[in-house]
Amino acid sequence: MKEFLIILGLIIVAAAIKTALDEKKRRKKFLQEMTDRFGAYEPNEMSPLRMDRVTHYHGSKKRENVIDDITFKDLNLKALYKKINVCRTFYGEEVLYDILRSPEFEEAPLKERDELVSFLYDNPDVAAQLSLYLSDIGREDVMPLSDCISELEILKGRTKLGRMIFTEFLCFLAGIGSVVLIFVNPMAGFFAFFIVLFINLCVYFCRQRRIEGYARCIISVIRLIDSVRHLAKLSGDNVAGQRIAGMNSLCDKIASLKRGSFLLVSGRSGTGNLTDVVLDYFRMYLHLDLLRFYTMLGEVTRKKDDIMALSESAGELDACVALASYRKSLVKWCRPQFTGAGKEGLYYKAKGLYHPLVKACVENDADFSKCVLLTGSNASGKSTYLRSVALGALMGQTIYTVCAASYEAPFFVTATSMAVSDDVLAGDSYYMAEIKSLKRIMDLSRQDVPLLCVIDEVLRGTNTAERVAASTEILLQLSKRSLCFAATHDLELAGLLEDSFDNYHFSEDVDTGSGDISFGYKLMSGFAKSRNAIKLLILMGYDEEITDRAIERCRTFLTEGVWKKI
């Protein structure tokens, strides 16, 4: 028996040494890769459930003038978020999402964050070290911390903590007693050991299932404290060092959570090595993690404000690493220049503006002090340009990074109506959904903050006569209270709105020999004078009978002003 225990002990020690050496090698490799690939990191995989959980932190802030759901969907900001998101922690993912949905209307907070992002941009080795230590916290799919703490308070209120701790302590004593008995009376000891093992595992799995989600959140807080302590090695007389020093001060306030925390954390790294497996069995047999969880419950709820502040600080540090890496990945970018123009002096200026999600996107300039009516052929680039304009304003006011050579404008509330669809569950037709979307923009235009609104195909869900009449009045009203960008196929609007809107268009080039259509995607002044809808039908292989008759009908209408049977 004695020899067996000695051999077992040697195996455990050897496994621990191997684990430590492997971890040291892994960290060195990780640090080198993060430094070399800065600006070219692979974005994180985001399951629908994880994406939903990431939004909870933003929802808990309850800010005003955030990007609403319609604009978020119209501009495909979820795709932009996923492209930027190389965060190493769930806290960073939460903060990054909140940043992208919360435009600032003063430059001070933007410059404060930009100072850190710029430092990391210029010092990729420091960014890599931050990522290394933050990765110790992990990105496992945990319950959002704000939700977890709220539910822990509920759990604490309905749980008789004294009884739970006493029960776990009895299981612990029974486990220790059965092991001691093996050395006194091996036969009786082993018999008692297996009985206690069966009872303790049954009780353990019954209770562990109820608290696992909460325990994982608390474990992430413990790992957060450890990571911040390691980050102290990077403290220095720079903006990152100052942030880390502030985080260390918060750690001091919640340091008591670390006492005995190894009982909760041990064996949960998920690496599958022998040390973890052994620790996991000890934990389950002796109820070590359950015992510590129940004793920590009250402490966590008492110190929730400091815990949340620490998680937000770590999340912002992580998000800034992601933003610095994103800047590095861009072919061209600039910091915005903001002015304090009132609602009477709205303007938008940008050089080399492009869409961040479109590969090899053609750049266009923007210099507007008047509303813009955009016309043009199908697939010529109108919608992409409108999204580029809206994204320029939003990215400038959120991540202080615009995909352009230069950008200058006042602070805007930005709202769009571009990808409207009917809502069967709500009982809304396409037209009802569209006018609701436009009504919210009309309401926003009455606020004191300047409005930048982008509308693609105004009232496309109704007949031509009423669409032109209603669109004219809606756009005229918006032109008095906002900087409005609208795209339309109704060329009548160009003349009706010429006093309030400047006309611009996109066009196409047609090869007279082959009939093929190509697009330059360059913005041009004036309204469009060409049409290509039927040409695109031809290119897609529609029957000639359909396309020839369609051309003839269109020619008759344009010549005589009425539709005729042919």
* Domains, the chain, with CATH or none: 2-329 (1.10.1420.10), 337-531 (3.40.50.300)
Q: Are 322 and 401 in contact (CB under 8 A)?
A: no
Backbone angles phi, psi at 30, to 5 degrees: -60, -45
CA-nearest of 380, 324, 393 to 353 is: 393
Interatomic CA distance for residues 12 and 396, integer angstroms? 55
CA-nearest of 106, 101, 109, 110 to 58 is: 101
Q: Are 325 and 398 in contact (CB under 8 A)?
A: no
CA dihedral 157→163→164→167, nearest 10 degrees, is 180
Interatomic CA distance for residues 388 and 403, integer angstroms? 8
User: Residue 233: its pLDDT value, please?
Assistant: 80
Record the tokens describing residue 180, joined without a space: 């001691």
Q: Are 66 and 101 in contact (CB under 8 A)?
A: yes
User: Residue 515: its pLDDT value, please?
Assistant: 59
Q: Are 286 and 180 in contact (CB under 8 A)?
A: no
Residues 6+ apart with CB under 8 A from 18: 273
Prediction pTM value: 0.84
Angle formed by the axes of helices 186-231 and 124-135, nearest 10°: 150
Q: Are 371 and 479 in contact (CB under 8 A)?
A: yes
Query: Amino acid identity, residue 473?
Result: E
User: Residue 272: its pLDDT value, please?
Assistant: 53
Q: What's the 3-state SS for 425-490?
A: CCCECHHHHHHHHHHHHHHHCCCCCCEEEEEECCCCCCCHHHHHHHHHHHHHHHHHHCEEEEECCC
Query: Amino acid identity, residue 512?
Result: T
Q: Is 374 helix (H, G, I), strand (E, B) or coil?
A: strand
Query: Amino acid identity, residue 115?
Result: E
Question: Could you give the C-alpha distances from 89 to 85, 268, 295, 308, 399, in angstroms and in order?
Answer: 10, 17, 26, 14, 19
DSSP 8-state assignment for residue 154: H
Concatenated DSSP letters for 168-214? HHHHHHHHHHHHHHHHH-HHHHHHHHHHHHHHHHHHHHHHHHHHHHH
User: Residue 215: its pLDDT value, please?
Assistant: 79
The long-range contacts involving 276-282, CB below 8 angstroms and separated by at least 24 positions, are: 278/12, 278/15
Interatomic CA distance for residues 303 and 240, integer angstroms? 25
Record the tokens describing residue 200, joined without a space: 């303790």
Q: Are 532 and 539 in contact (CB under 8 A)?
A: no
User: Residue 161: its pLDDT value, please?
Assistant: 64
User: Residue 46: its pLDDT value, please?
Assistant: 85
Residues 6+ apart with CB under 8 A from 473: none
Record the tokens describing residue 193, joined without a space: 């050991």
- Alpha helix positions (H), 232-365: 239-253, 262-265, 274-286, 288-302, 304-329
Instruction: State the first-to-last Cα distance of the chain, in angstroms, to the nearest integer.
Output: 102
Record the tokens describing residue 270, joined without a space: 């998920």
CA quadruple 212, 215, 221, 225: dihedral sign? negative
User: Residue 312: its pLDDT value, please?
Assistant: 93
Q: Are 307 and 300 in contact (CB under 8 A)?
A: yes
Residue ranges for the chain with pLDDT beneath 70? 1-2, 4-5, 8, 12, 16, 23, 140-142, 156-161, 263, 265-278, 341-344, 422-427, 510-516, 529-532, 558, 561, 563-566
Interatomic CA distance for residues 543 and 537, integer angstroms? 9
Q: Is 506 helix (H, G, I), strand (E, B) or coil?
A: strand
**Burial class, 346, CB count within 10 angstroms (exposed 0-12 / middle 13-18 / buried 19+):** buried
CA quadruple 462, 466, 471, 473: dihedral sign? negative
Interatomic CA distance for residues 407 and 350, integer angstroms? 4
Interatomic CA distance for residues 72 and 65, integer angstroms? 13
Interatomic CA distance for residues 540 and 251, integer angstroms? 63
Interatomic CA distance for residues 82 and 85, integer angstroms? 5
